[in-house]
Amino acid sequence: MKFETIKSILLVVLVTISIFLTWSMWKYKPDLDVSDKPQTHQMQIAESREPAELIMPIRLLYHIDGEHYGSVKAYDIKNLIGQISRWNLFRIEGPRILSNEEIATLSQSNNRIEIMYPDLVPFDIYKSIINIQSDDVPRASFNRIVINLDYKGQDAAAIYFISTIDGRVFESNIDPERITQLIQYTRDNKKEFDQYEAVELADGRIRFLLSEEKELKRYKYYTNNIDVSKFQEVLFSDPDKVRRDFVKNGEKFTDDSSFMNVDYMSNMISYVYPGNELKTEDILRNNDILKKSIDYINEHKGWTDNYRYFNIGEYDQRVSFQLFMDDYPVFNDKGMTQFRLSWGAEGIFKYNRPYFSFDIDLPGELLIKLPSGTTVLDYLMTDPDFKPELMQDLMIGYRLGKDPNNAQVYTLEPSWYYLYAGSWLRVDPIDIRGKFNGLE
């Protein structure tokens, strides 16, 4: 065979192969699930929670038969809210604007039940907790529910949703038969509740305070630290691009748009997305931020221990959830008992939280006797710098502290706290004992 013939055959073969490969590339479809959806991460921190588990009253007050009773127990709260959730609430009317004195009369008259929340609760999220028989739910919030037990044979009994912050009152109606059952239950169980006393402050406000001493446990817990790399997986859009650096007393995780600081001393993480910082022109009153905050933490199943909704700032778009122990809030000067979220125009701006959870309840609890609420108020009033008009609340809580001998062990000591000009301050029990003799 001549050399030219061989060259021609090879050329034909190469052209044929080239055509075949080109055709194959045109026809090839990759076996991939191409999607415009952002990458989601399957990493989970702990568990998710329903709104009813997180949005709970901080106190119940029963003004019945000329006496005042109260409870902060989760059992009593869940029992009452459970009853209300089975009611059919008719159309919600309002709002009416009432003065502080008119709201006090509406709430604190005889045969009323006050359900007190730590801060404003939007109707829009609360409709998932109770049964509102109306599509026209107010675009508003409340921090107190009042049930009027004196319906006096009318066709319907009244229930009020009140915002004590701006004086707005919404009213709905319920079947009187439900109220009859609630009155009977309340009278049968009122001796199980704590006794409260009405105290009038210098500015004319009435505060209901525990009238007897209270004995609570002092706890000591061994804690379990969550692997902080889990937060890298769930908080950053692309965990593989995150840089991890060790700094003094902690770590820093960074990508091109956000960062997360880890503090070994407080066992806290602080995630910040600077590009989402809220601008003045973007500020709106947003009733959805509580729901957004719950959904955000649920997305990575971030709930540990017993946290409850505690505070909202609609103007600056922030929400906080507080740790509770034995039905009382737990406080710490460094914020180690809070989940705090701040929102920007495009999404989450800041997310601060502890990365530890309680694991083992260590033996050796002590019983601590706390004075009555009226005694604590008397003590506060002895301070010439104390301004009663700035006191917003007074209640028992736990102080979280670290064991000096073991960084993994935390103590929880019961104490009195008062909300003063927007901050929760601890009343030192030693100071009270020094001022009022006879207390132990």
Phi then psi for residue 103, to 5 deg, are -65, -40
Amino acid at the residue 20: F
pLDDT value, residue 37 = 35
Q: What is the mean pLDDT of the chain?
A: 87
pLDDT tier at 91 (50, 70, 90 boundaries)? confident
- Asked whether the predicted pLDDT for residue 203 surpasses 90, the reply is no
Q: Residue 171: which region, alpha, beta or left (left: phi > 0; alpha: psi -120 to 50)? A: beta
Residue whose C-alpha is closest to residue 438's, from 375, 382, 383, 381: 375
Six-digit token pair at 259?
């960062």
Phi then psi for residue 192, to 5 deg, are -80, -15
CA 399 to chain centre: 18
pLDDT value, residue 282 = 59
The secondary structure element, H or E, covering residue 293 is helix 289-299
Report CA-CA distances (Å) from 112 to 66, 83, 159, 191, 354. 10, 16, 10, 17, 39
- Determine the longest span between alpha carbons in the chain, in angstroms: 124
Helix, coil or strand: residue 63: strand
Dump the DSSP string for 163-229: ETTTTEEEEEEE-HHHHHHHHHHHHHHGGGSEEEEEEE-TTS-EEEEE-S-EEEEEEEEEEEEPPTH
List, for residues 136-156, the tens digit of each pLDDT value. Answer: 889 999 999 999 998 766 667
| CATH for the 226-358 domain, from 3.60.21.10, 3.30.310.160, 3.40.980.10, 3.40.50.360 | 3.30.310.160
Sign of CA dihedral 333, 334, 340, 341: positive
Asked if the domains 214-219+361-435 and 226-358 are classified in one and the same CATH topology, the answer is no
Per-domain boundaries in the chain: 52-210, 214-219+361-435, 226-358
List, for residues 277-327, the tens digit of each pLDDT value. Answer: 887 655 655 568 999 999 999 999 999 999 999 999 988 899 999 999 999
Six-digit token pair at 124?
């829009």
pLDDT value, residue 150 = 86
CATH number of 214-219+361-435: 3.10.450
Residue reference for tokens 């407080």: 266
End-to-end CA distance of the chain: 117
Report CA-CA distances (Å) from 188 to 27, 69, 212. 79, 13, 21
Residue whose C-alpha is closest to residue 376's, from 324, 439, 310: 439
pLDDT tier at 343 (50, 70, 90 boundaries)? very high
Residue whose C-alpha is closest to residue 359's, from 312, 417, 304: 304
Q: How far apart are CA 55 and CA 290, in angstroms?
A: 10
Residue reference for tokens 């026809």: 27
CA dihedral 147, 152, 154, 159 (to 10 degrees): -10
pLDDT tier at 10 (50, 70, 90 boundaries)? low
Helix, coil or strand: residue 145: strand
Q: In the chain, what percentage of residues exceed pLDDT 90?
A: 69
